[in-house]
Structure 1
Amino acid sequence: MKISNRVTELLGVDYPVIQAPMGWIARAQLASAVSNAGAMGIIETSSGDLDAIRGEIRKMRELTDKPFGVNIALAYVRDPGIVQFVVDQGVKFVTTSAGDPSRYCADLKAAGLTVFHVVPTLAGALKAVAAGVDGLIVEGSEGGGFKNQRDVASMVLLPLVCSKVDVPVIGAGGFSDGATMAAAFAMGAEGIQMGTRMLSASESPVHDNWKKAIVEAQETDTVFLNRGGKGPALRALRTARSTRVEQQVPESIMSEFAGVQALYFGGDMEAAIALTGQVCGRIDAVRPVQDIIEETVRDFHATVARLAARYNRG
């Protein structure tokens, strides 16, 4: 059932499935489960607590002997020594996001790391390739989290970028199972990234209230916030708070995250904004990471085989 392509070869994993680098959430508990399942677990640094991140990476090595990576969210870097910090941790794979890919790409690659950059537009993809990245994570606006204010869906963005670049591409935004993975590959990708699907997994450290809200959500139960306001746009679960923010755009969208810990780990769904993708409408249970990845890969192969049998009739 292993999948062999440029993504798995570059990352050293069995399956080209990447776990999104969700702030405060993408820590050892979740990322090690992803890596142990044969995919690529990612540790976040966007929370800015590098001492804690160092400890999480130490835990990763206790929990798994499989490859894992680290994300650098460029817009949220507080420590100018972030590149050396990542290099010192001995990881071999880095994703960069939320900023200019040329900022650290050369230094990371000079240290021997593989670098993929997250892009929300074709222009961003071409800029990243020019900066020398090894690959791209092409993220449509269906996905949860921080977004480009000029949103483009994966169905448009992914095949567009794949038609214009030669580096391997991972699709992000709306991917949660084997059928959507097959769709991503049909559009030119060689892997997928899962955010909301992993957010709702058994090993995710967030409070059960958030997981329950995802399982109960319909496909229309997210909202795209801060279109035209200061700072990034974002997609989140629709709650009383996010509906208010949609109708009355705050001077700073980041002020809405002051209570993030109370939401993420305390279960108060109105304490902050619950970043969640539209794919919440397709998630109907909290399941272990191993089951999610095994089923995704199994159904991917089954989908490809079914399509070939139906349409390749000579």
Structure 2
Amino acid sequence: MKNRMTDLLGVEYPIIQAPMGWIARAQLASAVSNAGGLGIIETSSGELDEVRAEIIKMRQLTDKPFGVNIAQAFVRDPGVVDFVVDQGIKFVTTSAGDPNKYCGPLKAAGLTVFHVVPTLAGALKAIDAGVDGLVVEGGEGGGFKNPKDVALMVLLPLIRSKVDVPIVAAGGIVCGRTMAAAFALGAEAVQMGTRMVSAAESPVHHNWKDAIINAKETDTLFLNRHGPGPALRALRTERTTKLDIEPTDNIMAEMRGVLDLYFGGDMEAAVALSGQVAGRIDSVKPAKQIIDEVMDEFYAVMNDLRRDYL
């Protein structure tokens, strides 16, 4: 497959793995890159020493392209740009903050920069900041969200109608059919988070993977819409059901036990961030199988549409 994104990233397929904190490290990201997509190493954990070690490990596990995400709300180290540049990274996504903060210095160092946006206003601000492209994130995706969430079906074509840079679609992407839909709406690549959390190479505890596999399409909750702090989409558990009924005034405190959830398997220790596509995932598969199946279905859907309607 050839388009602006494959040319820009140097990858076989325009499929990007989302930069989930603590999860998007070398084990998972290298599997995605080796399968022809683009693995991303996270910084949202804030553990830059560990992230540096993961980047070193990444280069031992793959010779394919990969990128790094700078999650501005969680990484406050003023040297993060130098950190990324020193690692020899060529592609960066920035998120959870002002695109003007890091875009200039990163581009001056020769990096390609995409910014994650949840609204049209955010997209236009990122374009003005000089980004090379956008990750357009719908409210159906998992993780920390804009409290005024907009579904990808509305947001993506709206932003595409106003900008001409490459767009990565995020939120609700899980298969070739959803990838084809995203391309019809104006994307040139897709990003998958929840699908990769459940991948065989994902380092999270099998209890979380099982919860995704067993989830219905209604088994996520959009929490903390009215703040303070970020809104988020998470799996329905006893803890999140209570938070939905009785909102907290400190949603980030609910994440203190995150490592016990992620790697210890205690699903009530924190909030399990997951997108609505959990309701469509029914098995754990290796990253290569996921990507191969997505691309096979994508081509099949595109061919069927052409045959039936053109």
Q: Secondary structure at the match of 1:76?
A: coil
Choose the corresponding residue for 1:306, options 297, 304, 307: 304
Residue identity opposite 1:6 in structure 2:
R
Asked if 1:90 corresponds to 2:88, the answer is yes
Asked if 1:58 corresponds to 2:56, the answer is yes
Residue identity opposite 1:258 in structure 2:
R
Asked if 1:232 corresponds to 2:230, the answer is yes
Q: Secondary structure at the match of 2:100?
A: helix
TM alignment of 1:1-314, pairs within 5 A: 3-312=1-310
Q: Once the 2 structures are TM-superposed, how far is the Cα of residue 222 of structure 1 from its aligned partner?
A: 0.2
Q: Once the 2 structures are TM-superposed, how far is the Cα of residue 119 of structure 1 from its aligned partner?
A: 0.3
CA deviation vs aligned residue, 1:243-284 (integer Å, no higher than 9, x gap): 111111111110000100000000000000000000000001
Q: How many residues align?
A: 310
Distance 1:15 1:272 in 2: 34
Structure 1 segments (4+ residues) deviating >4 Å: none
Distance 1:188 1:250 in 2: 38
Residue identity opposite 2:183 in structure 1:
F
- Unmatched segments (≥5 aa) in structure 2: none
Distance 1:77 1:199 in 2: 22
Distance 1:52 1:45 in 2: 9
Distance 2:244 2:81 in 1: 36
Distance 1:120 1:126 in 2: 11
Percent identity over the alignment is 71
Distance 1:150 1:29 in 2: 34
CA deviation vs aligned residue, 1:166-190 (integer Å, no higher than 9, x gap): 1000100000110000000000100
> Under a length normalisation based on structure 1, what TM-score does the superposition of the two structures give?
0.98
Distance 2:179 2:253 in 1: 35
Q: Once the 2 structures are TM-superposed, how far is the Cα of residue 149 of structure 1 from its aligned partner?
A: 0.3
Q: Once the 2 structures are TM-superposed, how far is the Cα of residue 78 of structure 1 from its aligned partner?
A: 2.5
Residue identity opposite 2:277 in structure 1:
V
Q: Once the 2 structures are TM-superposed, how far is the Cα of residue 77 of structure 1 from its aligned partner?
A: 1.4
Q: Secondary structure at the match of 1:103?
A: coil
